[in-house]
Amino acid sequence: MNIVDIINKKRNNLELTKEELEYAFNGYMNKTVKDYQMSALLMAICINGLSDEEVFSLTDIFIRSGNTIDLSMIPGVKVDKHSTGGVGDKTTLVIAPIVASLGIKVPKMSGRGLGYTGGTIDKLESIPGLKVNLTKEEFLKELDSIGMVICSQTEALVPLDKEIYALRDVTATVESIPLIAVSIMSKKIASGADKILIDIKSGKGALIKNDTEAKILKDLMIRIGNKYNKEVRCIISNMDIPLGICVGNALEVAEAAEVLSGRIKNNLYDLCIDIASNMVSMAKEISIIDAREQVIEAIESKKAYNKFMEFIVYQKGNIEEMEISNNKLEIKSDKKGILTDIDAYKIGEVSCKLGSGRLSKDDVIDPAVGVFLNKQVGDSVELGDILCTLYYNKVKDDFDIIKAFSIQ
């Protein structure tokens, strides 16, 4: 076997055997296959796709590249969730406490963000003291004690994904449905939960740009789940406009707390209710309608909010000390009309440039900066109304954010 023949075969749109996939991907891990060879193979996959058999084999190769987590000693049903990422997506911070407050275990390993969409771990790190790196023992103990945990994904879990993702990121091969499915499902299966909810974002501010592609990804991830005897549900949610009203790390934590306390009911609230209801319905084997009632009650009764605070304290965070910058730049409307669109991509880009995200792995995040949306899609706007507020520290620039707002 040799790597050039394998690349050639995929370039000619032929199906690779498991042995060939092992040769290429395990070879990449142990450095016998070079960056440029893997890049060529990834591009061939991106263009010609993978059959289901290839996807199953590759998922297995990814999982076996590292350790897996056994949660069987923790009593109860364990439900995990994953979102394909989007601007202002702080759903994990809202959903995990809701579901855990209803007696379901939520073991959540999350990542950091790269590019315009922030990662859950970056958001949590805006809470002073909060520990995101946990040992396996700490992870299991917390899950057993308080029913939820959100921590950084360990290096040992699917290390092949980390290597391949970094290469995909710089070779224009991220947007491949089979590669996305393998990447997400290998991590979810290795994390050990019994049931998995995937929130597939579709739209301008997301990796998947339309619902047709989102549906193909959904069906593929469900088939991978079936292969491993895991119940997988996927919901497809819109990412044309930002999720919620805050973009930026501390701002997003503050918004999550507001949603949990029932004080904000916006598109973030609606999506969180949807995702949490599906998780509860799967875990308790009840209808979505019954699950939804329980989810809303968890918010109204403050059970979910209290669980969020319990989680923060357990991981040694002090939310009272979380800082949002005092430097504000208000962006005012130069038009009168109805706000018909807010470009999620542009908002994410500006927030990132203010310092809330990283464009390269080594960039340092400023947790206190970001964008607050004063107006929502559908609102009427008068001349001079504040459309959004930029929270800044080192970088004071509006980056033409007004272009993100369509007013008609």
Binding status of residue 200 toward ligand URA by CB under 6 A = no
- How deeply is 231 buried, as exposed, middle or buried, from its count of CB atoms within 10 A (0-12, 13-18, 19+)? middle
Q: Tell me if residue 379 is catalytic.
A: no
Q: Tell me if residue 183 is catalytic.
A: yes
Which CB, 217 or 245, lies closer to ligand URA? 217
Among the options 168, 233, 346, 358, which is catalytic? 168
d(CA 321, CA 319): 5
Nearest approach, Cβ of 265 to ligand URA (angstroms)? 28
Query: Is 249 in contact with 125 (CB distance < 8 Å)?
Result: yes
Query: Is 148 in contact with 124 (CB distance < 8 Å)?
Result: no
Q: What is the DSSP string of 169-223?
A: HTTT-S--HHHHHHHHHHHHHHTT-SEEEEEEEESTTSSB-SHHHHHHHHHHHHH
Q: Tell me if residue 358 is catalytic.
A: no
- Tokens for 57? 């084999």
Query: Is 118 in contact with 356 (CB distance < 8 Å)?
Result: yes
Query: Is 273 in contact with 296 (CB distance < 8 Å)?
Result: yes
Residues 6+ apart with CB under 8 A from 337: 380, 381, 407, 408
Which of 84, 126, 294, 315 lies at the binding interface for ligand URA (CB under 6 A)?
A: 84
Q: Tell me if residue 82 is catalytic.
A: yes
Q: Which of residues 207-246 bind ligand URA (CB under 6 A)?
A: 207
Among the options 122, 161, 199, 240, which is catalytic? 161
Nearest approach, Cβ of 85 to ligand URA (angstroms)? 6
Which CB, 179 or 250, lies closer to ligand URA? 179
Q: One symbol per residue from 155 to 184: x for binding ligand URA (CB under 6 A), - otherwise; what is it?
A: ------------------------xx--xx
Which CB, 45 or 280, lies closer to ligand URA? 45
Q: Total residues at the site for ligand URA (CB under 6 A)?
A: 7
Active-site annotation, residues: 82, 161, 168, 183, 187
Using CB under 6 A as the criterion, which residues of the chain lie in contact with ligand URA when the complex forms? 84-85, 179-180, 183-184, 207
